[in-house]
Amino acid sequence: MLIKRQRGIKTSEITAESTFRKRRMLLKTALAMGLIQSANSSAQDNLISLEAKDSDTRKKPFPENGQINNLKIWRGDIDLESTPFEDVTGYNNYYEFGTGKTDPARYAHTLEPHPWNVTVEGEANKTGTYALEDILKGHVLEERVYRFRCVEAWSMVVPWIGFPLADLLRKFEPTSRANYVQFFTLNEPEQMPGVRYPVLRWPYREGLTIAEAMHPLTLLTVGLYGQVLPNQNGAPLRLIVPWKYGFKSIKSIVRIRFMQDQPQTSWNMANAREYGFYSNVNPGKDHPRWSQATERVLGGGLFSARIPTRLFNGYAEEVASLYTSLDLNTNY
């Protein structure tokens, strides 16, 4: 399912970007990186189909066997602007590499994203350990421009590349007892210096209800801005759940567990009063230490005007039905 940009994102509300890469420039960048071999335009469905090229097997997210040979990018408004690439890749929360916002970009070069395996376990008929190439096999990648809202009241707009998580989870045939899905980040001190310190209980873990995980907006992501995910952004495989605060979008996934009972999540384990399991973006539910009613958009400078935060980060039309019987102020 392709998500149109105008859903939840208005051009007037997107970060201005002086270094905005128009679609043609993105294609040139991808070609220069050896990620794309050819491009064919289709006016009927407003997609661009791109063939992956086997080049740098260390950085390329596509399997070497070529089973994934089409990258579909939804073009939409060609003048749509996104947060500057430098902000998206240089201002991150990734405590495995340090607690400072610039620490991940500075230290994440030690991460080895290839080869990569993902273990699937729990309430599913098909479990086991799968190579990244097998995880990606058969999926058509899409570019989706999503708003991304951090619990610390800053936000950005990012063109992610990935495919619906549901498309992958169905392959494992979750049973009727699979009410939740839990995810784990790599826990490797030699590659991730931050896990040597007890900032959190490692490994980092997150969870969703099965309905949230299967929602078509939930994206399993392998790239951004027309190129593969940088290490500091969660290479080689991360989750994007655009209606939740950013820490729910777990990075560098190595394990997926189907569960009957609600799973533990890292920030809820660290401080349940401040970080609930659901963590939906909600301007009416303040963090105990700051308001969530407004946000600062990255790319506009330190003193840029704050904008109102939207319920579900602007995706209420798509996801509000998941929570019709849930008190969002109690189940935050």
The answer to whether the CB of 80 falls within 8 A of the CB of 143 is no
Q: How far is C-alpha 237 from the chain's CA centre?
A: 9
* CATH class of the region 11-320: alpha beta
pLDDT score for 17: 38
The string over 150-181, giving b where at least 16 C-beta atoms fall within 10 Å of a residue's C-beta and e elsewhere, is bbbbbbbbbbbbbbbbbebbebbebeeebbbb
- Per-run averaged pLDDT (10 residues), the chain, 332 residues: 37 38 38 36 29 35 36 38 90 97 97 97 98 92 89 92 96 98 98 97 98 96 91 97 97 98 98 96 95 90 81 93 94 94
pLDDT computed for residue 23 by the predictor: 40
Non-local (6+) Cβ contacts of 10 within 8 A are none
Sign of CA dihedral 230, 234, 236, 241: negative
Residue ranges of the domains in the chain?
A: 11-320
253 sits in which H/E element: strand 253-259
What is the model's pLDDT at position 141?
Answer: 86
- Give the per-residue pLDDT at 81: 67
